[in-house]
Chain A
Amino acid sequence: MDALMDRRGGLPLPHRRFAPRLVPAPGPKPQPVAPTGTVACKGCNRRFVTERYERALRVCSLCGYHGVVPATLRATQLADRGSLHLADFSDVEDRDPLHFNDGVAYPKRIAEARAKTGLREAFMVARCLIGGNPIVIACMDFGFLGGSLGSAAGECFARACEMAVAENRSLVAVCTSGGARMQEGIAALAQMARCSQGVSGVAAAGLPYISILADPCFGGVTASFAVQSDVILAEPGARIGFAGGRVIEQATHDKLPDGFQTAEFLLAHGMVDQVVLRADLRDTVARLLGVYSR
């Protein structure tokens, strides 16, 4: 009789009917149904109630994995409550210098990205306060064509820099990107220079510029404005570099060291100022600007 008793509660288990099905059911294999209102951590796959995960800023309480944050949510997380005002850059023109088509025409890809993210470009720019300090915040959205840097995105960042100078605000950029937008070819490369020019203007005005690097950040974005800041902060575990690890492995056939290109690896190599937990980002930025903006 003991075998029928549940060890925890002593209540009898429901009777099971053993009818092993040897032939799989026709049609697609049934997927385990995710409970509604939950979300899985990309690091350890543990499921959280969405509300709780959002309250934790999309950081897993179990493994510490920092989940992807879209641009607008990122700005909301960093800004003082009620202080966020989006800049209207709807007059920034789209460019398609190469009439690029890789099966799907490039303008159509942009339209899809817009529908998916609700953003006009890979950059979202806003005015806000952080710890009471006036800021222009420029956030990249990895969901928008991999956060890639094209002419329109470059123009948004350049305007953000000019806005900071004109209104005497500090600049905060949250960078996450696969790099230059290949679909725009050489015009995308030029954006590295355009964004660098923007940073140079902010520096000439004596204004602080803090960049926050989130996973992943590569290519022409890392090799320009992402690391031209006064202070470089990185989120734990974020992969940051010029060439991607896979590219390096293929090109050199070298075995990549453990933790290669992670924020912690770069901190150890002297490339970033601090690795900061997402929950501490706002305070860290506020503290720094409190000192620099005097």
Chain B
Amino acid sequence: MTRSPTKMAEQERAAFRAVELARHPGRPRTLQVIAGCFSDWTELHGDRLFGDDLAVVGGPAFLESPGGERRQVMVIGQEKGRDAESRALRNFGMPHPEGYRKAQRLMRQAAKFGIPLICLVDTPAAHAGIGAEERGQAWAIAETLITLLELRVPVVSVVLSEGGSGGALALAVADRVLGLEQAIYTVAPPETCAAILYRDAGQRARAALALRPGVATACEIGLVDELIPEPQPGAHVHPEMVIAALRGSLLRRLDELCAIPIEELLAARRRRYRHAGG
């Protein structure tokens, strides 16, 4: 690896451009994917404990195969918003504890009705704020992880654009995890990593190079199973194409998973996460 300063700087810039591409506002967002992949989706609001977090949406729907066969699913996802107004409303896709508790409620509901769960991940991180801490952000995420590990229905997760920190993992513990090719999936957003490692959030490009945040890295260590191809230069040029490809993958994965007896599926899920991350 070359160590010349200009070359490094160039590599760092390229690495951060990839992060910016993954954050491109034109990439398919959760609500768009729901509209494109599913029919009869009914949004269910609220965690029944404190409030309704608009950064997390969810509800039951049908996933239709090209043959016309309709499969019931529960869909939960993180929504970043499209324009300035909706982004603020959705807190830039950063959920509060209420969001994770709403997700848990819907997960349990999916298990009650025995319908597969589909999680759409698109968040820079879980929200960092006073209220979030007071209401137990860490507790909400930890409980969601356990809920997914023990959920007695097939689970498929999709990393749409950005998956950051435990806030993303809370919806990405699944039997199969898919990722759009140019998405990023990281332990924390590059800005946070830079603040922790170099004590300077301004060095985000350096962190972006060092962290290899591309979803391909997660694929290498087995945390993601399949990459959904994107057109060049990215999904934002033809989001509908990517959504169609994603729908095809979801159908294939659900066919595959629903054929496996639930005890076997749970044992495989346990093995998978017992050895997660090498």
B166 touches A219 (CB 8 A): yes
Determine which of B135, B136, B185 lies in contact with A186 in the assembled complex, contact meaning CB atoms within 8 Å.
Answer: B185
Within the complex, the shortest CB–CB distance from A90 to chain B, in Å, comes to 18
List, in ascending order, chain A residues with CB within 8 A of B188's CB. Answer: 180, 182
In the complex, B217 has a CB within 8 A of chain A: yes
Given the interface pairs A242-B126, A248-B130, the reply to whether A193 lies near B173 with Cβ below 8 Å is yes
A100 and B141 CA atoms in complex are apart in Å by 28
Within the complex, the shortest CB–CB distance from A227 to chain B, in Å, comes to 5
List, in ascending order, chain B residues with CB within 8 A of A190's CB. Answer: 169, 221, 223, 273, 276-277
In the complex, A170 has a CB within 8 A of chain B: no
A182 and B199 CA atoms in complex are apart in Å by 13
Determine which of A185, A194, A222, A270 lies in contact with B275 in the assembled complex, contact meaning CB atoms within 8 Å.
Answer: A194
A97 touches B278 (CB 8 A): yes
In the complex, A191 has a CB within 8 A of chain B: yes
How many positions in chain A have a CB within 8 Å of any CB in the partner chain? 54
Q: Restricting to A120-163, which residues have a CB under 8 Å from any CB of B?
A: 151, 154, 158
B186 touches A185 (CB 8 A): yes
In the complex, A292 has a CB within 8 A of chain B: no
Task: Find the B residue at minimum CB distance from A247.
Answer: B128
List, in ascending order, chain B residues with CB within 8 A of A102's CB. Answer: 197-198, 210
Q: Restricting to B163-208, which residues have a CB under 8 Å from any CB of A?
A: 165-166, 168-170, 173, 185-188, 192-193, 195-198
Query: Which of A15-23, A25-33, A254-262 makes up part of the contact surface?
Result: A254-262
A223 touches B137 (CB 8 A): yes
List, in ascending order, chain A residues with CB within 8 A of B128's CB. Answer: 242-243, 247-248, 251-252
A282 and B196 CA atoms in complex are apart in Å by 34
In the complex, B149 has a CB within 8 A of chain A: yes
B133 touches A189 (CB 8 A): no
B146 touches A189 (CB 8 A): no
List, in ascending order, chain A residues with CB within 8 A of B218's CB. Answer: 186
Given the interface pairs A185-B211, A186-B186, A247-B128, the reply to whether A269 lies near B197 with Cβ below 8 Å is no
List, in ascending order, chain A residues with CB within 8 A of B270's CB. Answer: 197, 200-201
Counting residue pairs across A and B whose Cβ atoms lie within 8 Å, the total is: 175
In the complex, A117 has a CB within 8 A of chain B: no
Which among B185, B198, B210 has the greatest number of chain A C-beta atoms within 10 A?
B210
In the complex, B274 has a CB within 8 A of chain A: yes
A102 and B192 CA atoms in complex are apart in Å by 15
List, in ascending order, chain B residues with CB within 8 A of A284's CB. Answer: none
List, in ascending order, chain B residues with CB within 8 A of A200's CB. Answer: 146, 149-150, 270
List, in ascending order, chain A residues with CB within 8 A of B129's CB. Answer: 243, 248, 251-252, 254
A98 touches B273 (CB 8 A): no
Task: Find the A residue at minimum CB distance from B133.
Answer: A241
**Interface SS of B by simple majority:** helix
Q: Restricting to B260-278, which residues have a CB under 8 Å from any CB of A?
A: 270, 273-278
A194 touches B274 (CB 8 A): yes
Within the complex, the shortest CB–CB distance from A268 to chain B, in Å, comes to 9
A24 and B212 CA atoms in complex are apart in Å by 52
In the complex, A75 has a CB within 8 A of chain B: no
Within the complex, the shortest CB–CB distance from B151 to chain A, in Å, comes to 11
A247 touches B217 (CB 8 A): no
List, in ascending order, chain B residues with CB within 8 A of A185's CB. Answer: 186-187, 211-213, 217
In the complex, A59 has a CB within 8 A of chain B: no
In the complex, B132 has a CB within 8 A of chain A: yes
Within the complex, the shortest CB–CB distance from B138 to chain A, in Å, comes to 4
Which among A200, A201, A223 has the greatest number of chain B C-beta atoms within 10 A?
A223
In the complex, A174 has a CB within 8 A of chain B: no
A187 touches B277 (CB 8 A): yes
In the complex, B134 has a CB within 8 A of chain A: yes
A221 and B187 CA atoms in complex are apart in Å by 13
In the complex, B251 has a CB within 8 A of chain A: no
A271 and B129 CA atoms in complex are apart in Å by 16
A30 and B186 CA atoms in complex are apart in Å by 47
List, in ascending order, chain A residues with CB within 8 A of B135's CB. Answer: 269
List, in ascending order, chain B residues with CB within 8 A of A270's CB. Answer: 136
In the complex, A168 has a CB within 8 A of chain B: no
B138 touches A241 (CB 8 A): yes
List, in ascending order, chain A residues with CB within 8 A of B143's CB. Answer: 228
In the complex, A77 has a CB within 8 A of chain B: no
List, in ascending order, chain A residues with CB within 8 A of B136's CB. Answer: 227, 269-271
Task: Find the B residue at minimum CB distance from A257.
Answer: B130
In the complex, B139 has a CB within 8 A of chain A: yes
A187 and B213 CA atoms in complex are apart in Å by 11
Within the complex, the shortest CB–CB distance from A244 to chain B, in Å, comes to 8
Which chain B residues have a beta carbon within 8 Å of chain A's beta carbons? 126, 128-130, 132-139, 141-143, 145-146, 149-150, 165-166, 168-170, 173, 185-188, 192-193, 195-198, 210-213, 217-218, 220-221, 223, 270, 273-278
What are 26 of the A-B contact pairs (CB < 8 Å)? A95-B278, A102-B197, A182-B187, A182-B193, A182-B196, A185-B213, A186-B185, A186-B211, A186-B217, A189-B166, A189-B169, A193-B276, A196-B142, A196-B145, A220-B165, A220-B187, A223-B137, A223-B145, A226-B138, A241-B133, A242-B128, A242-B138, A243-B126, A260-B133, A269-B135, A269-B136
